[in-house]
Each structure stands twice: as structure tokens, then as C-alpha cells.
Amino acid sequence: MVRPLAPGDTVRQGRYQVVEQVTLPRNQRGQGTAWLANDTQALNRLVILREIGPSTGEGAPRESEIRALAQRLAELGRYPGLPHLIDMFSDRGNYYIVLQHIEGKSLAQLVEQQGGALPERLIADYGRQLCEILTVFSSQQPAFVHGAITPETVMVSPDGQQVTLIHLPLFPPVQPPEVKGKTIAGYVPPEQVNGSIDERSDLYGVTATLYHGLTGYDPQQHMAYFYPPARRLNPQVTPRMEAILVRGLRMSASQRYARPADMLRDIQSLLGTYPKRMSLPSARSEIIRRPVERDSSSRTTMVLFALVTIVVFALLFGGILFATSRSPVATGPNLGATATANVMQTVVAMQAQQANQAAKVEMLLETQSFGRQGPAISDGRFIFDTYPGRLDSALKSDAAKAILRSDMDTAASKLAQALSVDPIDGEAQIYNQNLQIIQNGLPYVTIVLGLNFDAHPGALAAERATLEATALAQYEVNEFALLPHNLQLRILIAGTPSTAAGVETAAQFIADRVIKADNIDHIIGVVGWPAGMQTLRARDIIAGARVPIVSPTASDVNLAGNPYFFRVNPPYNAQGDALGTVAVQQLHARSIMVLQAPSDPTSLGLANAFITRVQTLHGTILPSRDSFVEMATSVIGYQALVHDAVLAKADLIFLPGTDVDAVRLAHAVGNAARDEPKNAVLANLKILGGTGLASHLLLGQGNTPDALIAREFPQDMQRLHFISFADPSEWRFAGVVPDSWPTFFTGWAGLFQNNKAPGAVNAPPPDQNAIMTYDALWVIARAASYLPDAGSMSGQAIRDILASMGTGKYPAYQGVSGRIAFDALGNPTDKAIVLLAVQPNPKVRGSNIINTVTIIGTFRS
């Protein structure tokens, strides 16, 4: 009769007394239970009692199977770092296996006790021991897989020197049905979630465990498979250790270490770089190192064999050449082929030499331009964001100088320090990732980000959000192994001053790198620029190099029509249509005053499109055309316009301006309403605007005078309605459960809002600039993922896929901002736009929030 155990019970004729149940890893929950017990025949030492299952009845394992299992565990227990087998028996209708209880603390407990990261040398040695254990596993027939290696299953001896892997599975581990196929944050690789498990799964678990020990970062508390650069979390991590972690944690199993011996070799090499310290030899160290010495000997033999082979081959080849040169009859028929090959080699060499020379010329021109505070193209050798609020400018500058003199180790160290000082610096994040690609000798393709840099607070916030989104997209593309054939994504920043001439020069630099320098950077696309006039200046120059340009936010209708131009945002005629519909059908406006900024073509175009749509819907546009100057008209200046609106009995003012204009106009309306509290027109007057209004300035964020107005007069801001290309609230509004939201949101929080140190500065929530830039980068990367091989990767090939995305054989791309499919003009078809409103914050009295009112267009496929 089967009787389950309980604390206090005894088995094996009173020898083992049960203390408490031990929690097993999730993938072993079908393998019986585990108990901590006292062995009364061994001075009450503690043991682990594994209760396997009934010893009799239908489906019960045969005793021979249990003995074979015990024999295998006994064999494994002979190796260092694995628990010994003590006993095997049946009692109370169950089989039991007794294993050694490991003294010490788990690695998770040590990290918690330390309050963060442990020393790298110590973690590297733990990694060596774990890889040696996995080498033992792989030598078994069949290979043994643990399947649940985490900081909880790695025990560290009381002296802190030896690690032991506990909770060995009794049978091959499997994922429970309730989690199979689901994304699980933690130490399990993607393929294991889907039921595929082998020794590479254990290597992933070891690497994730080492990462936790080095950084204190627990992947179970963050987005699945998301690991920020270790050196950002712990600047003391060396580049070589980070390279091991990066390789071991790749999403694709084919890009990770294939065998424990491969990872072990890298860790041993790393350990050899640390300063030597005195230590006494131990029997254990000799036992462990013997296989390694055999590997070293084997490698030496292989190297000698290879050298001998090369020498023999050279002698043979030289003899053949000598013989053929003395025999004109024998060589006569091949002279033409040889000459042709030689000519081709010469041509290829000359082309490469010309490309390298052209690249040097381009670099010199860009360096001179940057020195004149003009545009430049940077992979890290120039820095652009040195404006107030950046804490790492000096360190970035040091890294740039190191790159210019090809001192990549110093550059990597300086960038790591920069990110430690200012972890939300998107520019530094990008350069750090670029440097890792070069240092590790990885193949790559490049996307250029076109961005102008302006010190105005509003513009600077948008620029920094754009850089942060770019860094996140680059990280995810590389971490999720999106590109074929192990290609990495490298980002170049085309930094420009906010002048049309500067954008043209930067565009010409990009085109020259592709055409004159034989595309030495492997450029496949350009993302940029934010504004329509800037992008219009760059479009044809870049298209001339047959490279597609994808704009994240440029709205000018005149941009469309070039076959190499695409945008992920709707143009302003589509925006005007949406706003007109909102005004008449959503806000039920009967009499609308339209403001215009005569000096801004985009503002005029948006206003005209809005007027056309309102009139089509039989709405009333007031005949007066009051004008304003973007970001210059003051609150007092707007009061005159408000006076005109009251006289005309308008119930809506349309403002095709910026967030600064919105704050000032809303405050002007509020002032007028406070002066005339009984005026019904002022009491109900609303303001509707375009995407230029969509910023957190309306909530009072920032330290400008306009931010102060928004904070001190939140009731004035509640008159504002406006559209945005994207907003984080859309996904919740669309009824999508958070687990199904794009990885962008957890990635943003992990990279830029994860600093818990006292007084730390985190990035604000992502705005439309961040989301649209992220989508523009990802849509190019998605197009690249469809190409069959690295050889077919070109700007032209990317352009052809983009042109048929959503209409041809390539599906529409589901971006964070909505579904993206392109029409014949490169515009997104029926792209989603979100209507937002400033509303009272129900949780914080006297403050506001921005809420989604509705989504216009196709948000999800």
C-alpha cells in the first residue's frame, strides 16, 4: 500500500527521518517528490530523499529501471561538483533514492547576501567548474541533460571555492503542459520552452547563472531573454567575460556555444588573463585539470600536424609550379585561363584598394566637417549629444578619441564607464554595441540613423528618445538573431545641425560611402530625418545610391513618389482627414476657428487638409484666418486670437502647431475664462491639434517656463485634444493583454527605466518619436530577414521587399505603432493614428494624465 511521506515520518526501518519537503525545479515536478531527511545511522547527517513512485501496481517502474537509474547517479556522483549516491530501497509502497545533501549556500543566496554582483574572477572559476560538470554530462551515453540550471541549483561550498550542481533529474526533463510553448522569463532558453532540450540548453542556463552572479540582474524579474549589456550593469566586467556572456545568451541555439568544451576553453583562456595569485595545490584541482591538460596536448598535436601539412603542401605546390614552368607543352592550353585569373585578381585588388582609399578620403572629409561643427557620420568616433543633462560626455569623448587611434580596448573601457555613469545615454549604447561587433569580428550590415541635434529642450527630448529607441532596436535585432546567417546590425549616426544644407551634406556622405567606397559599411537602409523639409533634402541623394530611406515622422506629401522613399507615419493629408473627422464626429464641433503658421509649409498643409475634410462633412469653418508663429507667439499674443474666437462663438480652435503653442493657447483660453466665468463660449471652448502637440510638456514635465504653466494650471490643459502617431496606451485601449504586448515596452523599461539607485535619473516613458523610430528600424530589419543569404543583402533588395510588404508575398509588419504596409507611393496604408486628450489624474489631485480617446485606422492585422 502506497503511503505518502510527511515531516516526522521514518523509512528504511527508521534509518531516515523526514524533516521537510524540498521544492524541485518545474520540469521535474512529474518525477516524484524530494525531502530533506536525517540519516540516523551516520551521526544524523542530512540527506536528500527522492521519492520516485509506487513499487507495485499498473504503470509502476520495474526494479531494474530504478537500479539502472541509481547506477547512473552513482556514476555521476564520482565526479567533483555532483552529489554522491548513498542508498536505494523500497518502503511504504514507494521507491526511494538517497543522495548527498550539499552544505553551503546557493549562488542566489550569495548574490542576495552580497547585495549585488560578485567578483568576476570568482564567477569565472564557478563557470569553469560548471562547464567541467557539463563536459561530464555530455560524455554519458546517452548524454545527460540537467534542464534546470539556475542560481538556486548551484550550491557553493562554505569556503566559497567549490560549486556543486544539485537537483539532478531522475528522468529526462520535460516542460509541464501548462507552460509548454509559452514565453517564460528566467534561465530557460527559447527552444526548451518548445520542448527541444539538449546540452546547449544547459549551457544557456550556466551562462544566465553567471550573468546573474556578475550583475545581480535576475532574468526572472524581467522580459524573457532580455539581458542588458553586463558592463552597463557592472563596469568591472571585462570585455572578454562580456563576450562569453553575449555568445552564451543568444536567442538562436546555433549561435551559442555548441559544446561545453567550447565554453570551457574560453573561460580557461579568460582565467589565464587575471593576475596570478599564490595558491596551494589540491587533489581536487589535479583531478579536474587532467582532462584539460589532455585537451591542451591534443590541440598542440593538431597545430603541429597542421603546420607540417602546410609545409608539405607548399613544397608539393612549389614543385608542381616549377615542373609546369619547365614544360611549355603541358602548360600551353592553360596559359589563357591563368592569365585571365591573374587579371581578375589584379582588378579585384585594385577595386579593393580604390575603395579603401575612397573610404579614407570620406573619413577625412567627415572629420573636417565635424571639426567645423558640421554634419558627420559616426560609429563612435564622433559624439553628438553633449548637451546639458548628459553625465558622460567626457567619457564618450575619450572613447571617440580611442576609436580614432584604433585603440578599441580603451574605447570599450571608456564606453562601459560612460554607461555606468549615464546608463540612459542612447548614443553611448549604440556605440558600445557597434564596438562589440567589431571586437568580436562578427559579420554585420548597417542602418544609418539621420538625426539633427538641437539644444532646445523640446527638440532635445525627442532626439534622446530617438537614440534610446535606436539602441533598443539594435539590441533586440541582434539578441533575437533576426538577421540571416549570424549577421549583426550596426548603426551609424548621421548627425546634422538643424539646417537644410547640413542634411544635404550628411546625405552626400552616406551616398559616397556606398558608391565611391564600394559600400564598405554594408549599408542597407537609412532611417530619418524627423522633419519633412530635412528628409526632402536627403531623399534623392540617398536614393541615387539605391538605398531605401524610411522616415519615422516626416509628414510632407511632397516626399512621396520616389521609389526608394518610405515612411511609417501617415502624411499630413491623411492626418488632416483624421482630425477633421474627429472635430465633426467625435467632438461634435459646430463652429471651428483654424489657426495657421504661414511660415511653416507643414502647418499650412495640415490646416488645409483639415479644412477640406471638415467641409466635406458639412462642418462650419469660420472665415477668419488667424495666424501664429510656432514656438514664438506668447500667451498674451494668443489672447487676441481667443478674443476673436469668442466673438465668432467658436466651440473649437484648430491648432496645427507644437506642444509649446498648445500650452500657451490653452493658458490664454483659461485666463479668459477666469476673467469671464459666466461666458458659455469660453467654458466649453476646446483645442484640437496635430502630432506636434503630443508630448509630456502638456503634463508639466521639464523645467521650462511653459512646463511651469502646465503644472500650475492643469485645468487649462484639459481643453486639449490631439493626435499622435503612437502612444503606449494604445495597446491597453485595444484590449490586448500585457503578456501579448510588443517586447518594446519591457525592453524600454529594462534598458532605460531600471536604475533603482538613490537619485538615479531614468528615461521618461517612450513618446511617439521613440516608437516610430523603433518601428522604422525594425521594418528594415524585418525586410532583411526575408533575404535568403548574406550575399543578397543590399539596399536594392531591401527596397524591393519594402515595396511589396503587405501587398505582395511579404506580410504587413506589426509595429508598436500599428500595422505597417506600404502603398505604391511609399506611404503606409490606413495606418493607425491615436486620438489623445489631457484629463485629470484620478490618483494625484491637481495633476493630469494623457489618455487614449480612440484609435483611427488599422492598428492590428
Query: How far is 255 from 479, CA to CA, in rounded Å?
Result: 10
**Among the listed residues 564, 594, 567, the one whose alpha carbon sits nearest the alpha carbon of residue 579:** 594
231-241 pLDDT per residue, tens: 888 988 998 99
Buried/exposed code over 793-826 (b: 16+ C-beta within 10 A; e: otherwise): bbbebbbbbbbebbeeebebbbbbbbbbbbeeeb
pLDDT value of residue 282: 35
pLDDT value of residue 181: 44
pLDDT of 432 strictly over 50: yes
CA 686 to chain centre: 40
146-184 pLDDT per residue, tens: 999 999 999 999 989 999 999 999 888 766 555 554 445
Query: For the residues 191-208, what does the mean pLDDT come to?
Result: 85
Percentage of the chain lying above the pLDDT 90 cut = 64
Strands (E) across 80-210 are located at: 85-91, 94-100, 105-106, 154-156, 163-165
| 560 class by beta-carbon count within 10 Å (0-12 exposed, 13-18 middle, 19+ buried) | middle
pLDDT of 489 strictly over 80: yes
Report the CATH fold assignment for 572-724: Rossmann fold (3.40.50)
pLDDT of 751 strictly over 90: no
Mean pLDDT of the chain: 86
292-320 pLDDT per residue, tens: 333 333 333 343 334 433 433 443 334 33
Express the helix, strand and coil content of the chain in percent, nearest 5 each.
Answer: 50, 15, 35
pLDDT value of residue 510: 96
Percentage of the chain lying above the pLDDT 70 cut = 87
pLDDT of 326 strictly over 60: no
pLDDT of 416 strictly over 50: yes
Query: For the residues 615-643, what does the mean pLDDT come to?
Result: 93
Q: How confident is the model at residue 837 (pLDDT cuts 50, 70, 90)?
A: very high
Domain residue ranges in the chain: 10-100, 105-276, 350-510+517-527, 572-724, 733-823
7-50 pLDDT per residue, tens: 999 999 999 999 999 988 876 767 889 999 999 988 778 999 99
721-735 pLDDT per residue, tens: 999 999 999 999 999
Cell numbers at 123, concatenated: 564567477
pLDDT of 281 strictly over 50: no
CATH class for the region spanning 105-276? mainly alpha
Contact between 743 and 475 under an 8 Å Cβ cutoff? The reply is no
Query: For the residues 579-589, what does the mean pLDDT come to?
Result: 97
Query: How far is 106 from 488, CA to CA, in rounded Å?
Result: 36
Query: How far is 780 from 570, CA to CA, in rounded Å?
Result: 18
Contact between 564 and 799 under an 8 Å Cβ cutoff? The reply is yes
Identify the DSSP state of 585: I
CATH class for the region spanning 10-100? alpha beta
> Quick one: which H or E segment has residue 689?
strand 686-689
